[in-house]
Amino acid sequence: MSHDLIQELIDKAESDLLHLSDTIAELRESMSHLMEQNNQLKLKNQELTDIILSKDIENDVLKEEDSILIENKPSGRDRLQAYYDDGIHICHEFFGMPITSGEECLFCNKFLEELEKRDSSKSA
Ligand SMILES: [Zn+2]
């Protein structure tokens, strides 16, 4: 193999690698965007389920599986805490965005604290 050919192959490999690296960065960004959307849909879906269930309670048209859901239903705060523990921002600032592992969000913590205060003043 001539030196020129080897040099040409190295150049091509280097350019392919750079291209691949760009593609990976694009994929990473798309995945992060999709995760964020998925999280937002999850939270929205839960909110809508709650609204439907509370309407059913008002209208007294509960199905058997609804009653089971309600009996085992965690409080809104507990559920948001669970989402936060699962690594999803529940604060208005970054709603639905994934939390980098080990990271803490001051906005989320403050929001949970406020909900805690509201819950405890309600039950007192
Ligand atoms: Zn947050």
Query: pLDDT tens digit string along 35-93?
Result: 999 999 988 888 888 888 788 777 777 677 776 666 666 778 888 999 999 899 999 99
Report the separation in Å between the CA atom of 98 and the middle of ligand 1, taken as the mean of its atom positions.
9
β-sheet bridge partners, residue 88: 98
The phi-psi region of residue 68 (left if phi > 0; otherwise alpha if psi is between -120 and 50; otherwise beta) is alpha
Supply the pLDDT for residue 70: 65
Q: How sure is the predictor about 122, in pLDDT bands with cuts at 50, 70 and 90?
A: low
Report residues near ion ligand 1: CB below 5 Å.
89, 91, 94, 105, 107-108
* Ligand 1 centroid, distance to 68 Cα (angstroms): 31
pLDDT in tens, 9-35: 999 999 999 999 999 999 999 999 999
Look up residue 43 and give its DSSP letter.
Answer: H
**Residue 76: its pLDDT value, please?**
80
Question: Are 96 and 88 contacting, i.e. CB atoms less than 8 angstroms apart?
Answer: yes
Residue 49 identity: T
